[in-house]
């Protein structure tokens, strides 16, 4: 059974892509680089430097083409992103950041009235002057 390669970014099948994948190879659908850490068998975000190959050099940008000699193409590298937020996570975020039931953010900081701000500004101007060149 042969497994068809798919792009790590868009999931498009890479039927015409020769293996091993060249450093300059691109996805024909989204133009993403293919010789990238995200499309490698050793890519694993749970380990140091996101790479299970212990002697590989560190690659900072995991989504750009690199010169890693240990690159081994991973056929099922594509992972669809789940754009929905579960209700439990939403409730935790609302509790943390203080949102109303309708999702609007509530400001928990003490609101300073305009008159208090004006009084403070006047006191500063009396103490230090208005900041104009003639006030020295």
Give yes or no: residues 16 and 61 share one domain: yes
Residue 22 domain boundaries: 1-79
Instruction: State whether 1 and 21 are in the same domain.
Output: yes
pLDDT digits (tens, 9 = 90+) for 69-80: 999 999 888 887
Other beta carbons within 10 Å of 75: 14
Sign of CA dihedral 108, 109, 110, 114: negative
Residue 23 included in any domain = yes
On whether residue 65 sits in a domain, the answer given is yes
Q: Are residues 18 and 44 in the same domain?
A: yes
- Can you tell me the mean pLDDT for 1-19? 82
Question: Does residue 71 share a domain with residue 12?
Answer: yes
For the segment 97-108, what is each residue's pLDDT rounded down to a tens digit? Answer: 876 555 554 555
Which residue(s) pair with 26 in the sheet? 33
Q: Is 40's pLDDT higher than 80?
A: yes
pTM here? 0.57
Pair 63, 22 in one domain: yes
């Amino acid at each position: 059974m042969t497994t068809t390669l798919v792009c790590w970014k868009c999931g498009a099948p890479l039927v015409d892509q020769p293996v091993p994948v060249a450093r300059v190879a691109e996805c024909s659908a989204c133009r993403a680089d293919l010789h990238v850490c995200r499309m490698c068998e050793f890519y694993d975000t749970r380990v140091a430097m996101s790479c299970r190959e212990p002697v590989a050099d560190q690659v900072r940008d995991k989504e750009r083409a690199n010169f890693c000699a240990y690159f081994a193409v991973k056929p099922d590298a594509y992972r669809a992103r789940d754009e929905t937020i579960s209700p439990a996570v939403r409730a935790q975020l609302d509790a943390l950041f203080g949102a109303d039931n309708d999702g609007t953010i509530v400001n928990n900081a003490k609101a300073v009235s305009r008159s208090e701000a004006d009084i403070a500004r006047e006191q500063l101007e009396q103490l230090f002057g208005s900041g104009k060149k003639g006030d020295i």
